[in-house]
Structure formats: C-alpha cells, structure tokens
C-alpha cells in the first residue's frame, strides 16, 4: 500500500464520537500508520482537544441545543453567526489539510467552502445514512405532520445532492445511497466502501474463533449468552419484538441467556423495557449492558451463540446495511434477521442464518429454537459466516480502495 508521508488529512463529524468505528478505527488510524498527519475535528457533548494514543490530533466543539423541537433548533443554529460549523470551518482553513473527509449531513454546510480554500484541498463526503428517509421514517411517527416532514426531507435531499457536485468523491456504505448520488454527480464520483469488519482490530479475539465441529458439545461449548443484540436499539430496530420472543421462549428454555449490548433510545425506552423484564420475571434471562468501546465488543461476540437483527420494515431500515451483520458472521454467530433489504439478501446469499418476518412472533421463536437445538444447522451456518468474511467481507479491501481514491484526488490537484 502507498505511503502517505507528508499528507495532511482532516476527518470531520458532528454526529459520531471520537472513537467511531468507521472514522477513527478504520480510516484515521490506518492513515496515520501509512505516514499521514491525521486530525479529527468534531462536535460532541463536551469541548475537548488533545492527541490520542494512536497519534490522532483531535478537537471537539461542544454541541449546542437551543430547543427540543428539531426544526426550531435547526433554524436557530442556521441563523446563529457564531455556530459550531463556522468554528469548524475556521479551524479547517487554518489547518490547510490536503484532504478533508467529513461524515455527517449538516457538515455539507461548509463542504463547498472547504473545497474552495486557496490551497485547493481534496474533499470527500461520507454519506453514511439515507438522511431524507431517516426523517420520513422517524420524525413523522411522532408529533410532526407527515406532510411537513416529507417537504423538509425532500428539500434536504435535493440540497444534499446539489452540494455534492462540489466534492471529489461521495462515499456511501451501501449501494442504494450511492446510486442516488450517482444520478446527480456521475458514476465515477459516487462510490461504495462497505463497512466491513476490520480483522486487524480484532485479531486477538478472532484467532480464538472456531465454528463448533463436535456436535456433542453443542449448545454448551463455553458460551455465556445464547442470544445477542449489539448496537443501537429502539422500537424500530426491534426492541419489543426481541423482548416478546424471549418471553415466549422462556418456559421451554428456562436457562436461556440474552445480552442486549449498546445504546437504547429514547432514554425512556430503557425504563419501559426494564419494567417489561421485571413484570415477566426475565431479570435472570436478559442482561442489558451499555455501549462499550468498539475495540472491546469482540469479547462479547466470543461469548455469544446467535446474533439478532429484528429490524422493522420501515423505509429507512430497508436501505441500511448494518455493520453488526458482518461482525456476527466473522465471530461465527448465525444470524436471525429480518426478511427485507441487505439483511435478508446477505443471509440468503451466504447461508449464514435464518430470515424471518420480525413482526411474526411465532416465526421468530421457531427460528431461535431451530438454531439453538439443531446442531448440524447451527454448525453449518456458523462456518458459512466465518468463511464468507475471510473470503470477501473484509475492511482491508475497502481501505485499499479508499487510499486509491485519495491518491487520485491528490494527483488531480
């Protein structure tokens, strides 16, 4: 891989934290190892600055919230002349990086200005979410009119695509978002870097991963948890479907152990889930653990048998490609996933799990029982997931492509 010695790269974010898996571990740290001078500027809960153990220079500007209403808050931030986006831009202008690579929607407010800086930097936009569909899927479900949300989302979508004409590359993490940008900015400038597992980051944990070969040791095998859900959990991502499935399984599987690992949003949902767990005597069955540093999640995968992805069939989630799917597979966890989108496509393609209707409780329960009781099925699907990630779904290939895009942009300067 080419050296980036003497190249100054600045990553920017306003919705992702410092140690984000994609920005920090998969992009910033590898580029530092390749000799680049790497900076990470972001907006977060508290102001901070310094240098990480991996040598990444960071600055965080404190997030400002003026109203609980997202539209009012958006308007105030836009009108405020000393907002954080101006501060980010001013800091970037002083830095004079060769490459600016930003990762969140509203940083498009400064993206074209970064591209227009006198030293002619390369600018990359990581379009990580189908943002307009997120608005339609989530905001219209609450106190906001569907019509208002749809108008707002449509305007945001047109603005995002138009602004993108300024950039060297727009990078998506799955094909649907990429294809929408390609219609506006062209096939070559809209690309996909899939958010595959970085095997180097989990090298120690993955060395110990082996699919079960001796069915007589199944399902014990030293695993602490029978079922695992890892990542952000809310109603749309299957919080209640998961709890109902565990409640239904408990009578026939009294020793069942389940781990919910990650953030639960909104905060009041955690309390409601805890009440459900208490009311149905599931305290010794379900463990709820808050988010842990990304580089530590491997140990929980190693302790688990089956990975769950019971997302609901809403517009936004039909588009997204969950990174947890690749992580489950790499650690040999057969996946029980929803019957739509990338989840169903990948599970069926690689035969690494079972596809279910997430709203059909009986179907979900049967799938869990099958994987935890049918030893040959479990072993085959576990092996298929491990083999697929070794063969194809590996971040190193995506990193090589990112480096190539950077080199092309630098040469074009």
Contact 348, 355 (CB under 8 A): yes
- Please tell me the distance from the alpha carbon of residue 228 to that of residue 247, in angstroms, as a whole number: 15
- Please tell me the distance from the alpha carbon of residue 360 to that of residue 323, in angstroms, as a whole number: 24
Q: Is the pLDDT of residue 188 over 80?
A: yes
Q: Which of 48-52, 122-126, 214-218 has the lowest mean pLDDT?
A: 214-218
Mean pLDDT value of segment 230-248: 96
Could you read off the pLDDT of 46-85 as tens digits, one per residue?
A: 999 999 999 999 999 998 766 666 555 565 655 565 689 9
Could you read off the pLDDT of 130-149 as tens digits, one per residue?
A: 999 998 888 755 556 788 88
Q: Is the pLDDT of residue 210 over 60?
A: yes
Between 146 and 395, the higher pLDDT residue: 395
What pLDDT does 217 receive?
Answer: 41
Residue 266 CB coordination number (10 Å)? 10
Which of 138, 137, 177 lies closest to 157, judged by CA? 177
Mean pLDDT value of segment 24-29: 97
pLDDT category of residue 100 using cuts at 50, 70 and 90: very high
Question: Domain 8-195+394-412 belongs to what topology?
Answer: Rossmann fold (3.40.50)
Mean pLDDT value of segment 318-337: 96
Give the residue range(s) of CATH 3.40.50.2000 domains in the chain.
Answer: 8-195+394-412, 203-391
pLDDT mean across residues, the chain? 92
Q: Which residues pair with 257 in a beta bridge?
A: none
pLDDT category of residue 207 using cuts at 50, 70 and 90: confident
- Please tell me the distance from the alpha carbon of residue 113 to that of residue 116, in angstroms, as a whole number: 5
**β-strand 57-62 against 37-44: which pairing, if any?**
parallel
With residue 112 as reference, give the H or E element that holds it: helix 111-115
What pLDDT does 71 receive?
Answer: 56
What pLDDT does 290 receive?
Answer: 93
What pLDDT does 222 receive?
Answer: 74
CATH 2.60.120.10 fits 203-391, yes or no: no
What pLDDT does 139 receive?
Answer: 75
**β-strand 57-62 against 48-51: which pairing, if any?**
antiparallel
Q: Which residues pair with 354 in a beta bridge?
A: 336
What pLDDT does 347 receive?
Answer: 98
What pLDDT does 389 receive?
Answer: 95
| 3-class secondary structure, 68 | coil
What pLDDT does 216 receive?
Answer: 43
* pTM of structure: 0.90
| CA distances (Å), origin 191, targets 163, 194, 341 | 16, 10, 19
- Please tell me the distance from the alpha carbon of residue 313 to that of residue 299, in angstroms, as a whole number: 30
Mean pLDDT value of segment 84-98: 97
């Amino acid at each position: 891989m080419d050296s980036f010695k003497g190249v100054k790269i600045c990553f920017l974010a306003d919705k992702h934290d410092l140690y984000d898996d994609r920005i920090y571990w998969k992009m910033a740290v590898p580029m530092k190892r390749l000799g680049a001078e790497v900076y990470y500027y972001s907006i977060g809960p508290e102001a901070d600055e310094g240098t990480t153990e991996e040598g990444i220079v960071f600055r965080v500007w404190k997030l400002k919230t003026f109203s609980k209403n997202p539209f009012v808050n958006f308007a105030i931030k836009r009108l405020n002349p000393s907002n954080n986006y101006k501060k980010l831009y001013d800091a970037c202008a002083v830095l004079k990086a060769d490459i600016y690579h930003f990762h969140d929607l509203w940083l498009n407010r400064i993206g074209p200005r970064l591209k227009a800086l006198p030293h002619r930097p390369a600018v990359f936009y990581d379009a990580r979410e189908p943002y307009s569909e997120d608005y339609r899927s989530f905001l219209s479900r609450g106190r906001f009119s569907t019509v208002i949300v749809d108008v707002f989302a449509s305007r945001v979508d047109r603005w995002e695509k138009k602004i993108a004409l300024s950039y060297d590359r727009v990078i998506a993490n799955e094909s649907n978002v990429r294809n929408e940008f390609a219609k506006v900015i062209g096939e070559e400038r809209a690309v996909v870097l899939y958010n595959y597992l970085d095997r180097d980051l989990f090298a120690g944990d993955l060395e110990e991963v082996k699919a079960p070969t001796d069915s007589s040791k199944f399902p014990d095998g030293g695993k602490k948890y029978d079922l695992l859900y890892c990542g952000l959990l809310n109603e749309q991502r299957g919080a209640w479907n998961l709890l109902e499935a565990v409640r239904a399984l408990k009578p026939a599987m009294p020793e069942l152990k389940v781990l919910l690992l990650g953030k639960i949003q909104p905060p009041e949902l955690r309390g409601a889930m805890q009440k459900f767990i208490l009311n149905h005597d599931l305290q010794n069955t379900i463990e709820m653990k808050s988010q842990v540093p990304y580089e530590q999640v491997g140990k929980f995968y190693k302790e688990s048998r089956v990975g769950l992805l019971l997302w609901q069939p809403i517009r936004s989630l039909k588009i997204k490609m969950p990174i947890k799917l690749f992580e489950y597979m790499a650690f040999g966890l057969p996946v029980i996933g929803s019957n739509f989108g990338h989840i169903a496509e990948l599970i069926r393609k690689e035969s690494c799990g079972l596809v279910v209707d997430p709203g059909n409780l009986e179907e979900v329960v049967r799938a869990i029982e099958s994987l935890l009781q049918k030893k040959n099925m479990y072993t085959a699907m576990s092996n298929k997931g491990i083999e697929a990630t070794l063969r194809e779904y590996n971040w190193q290939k995506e990193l090589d492509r990112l480096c190539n895009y950077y080199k092309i942009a630098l040469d074009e300067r």
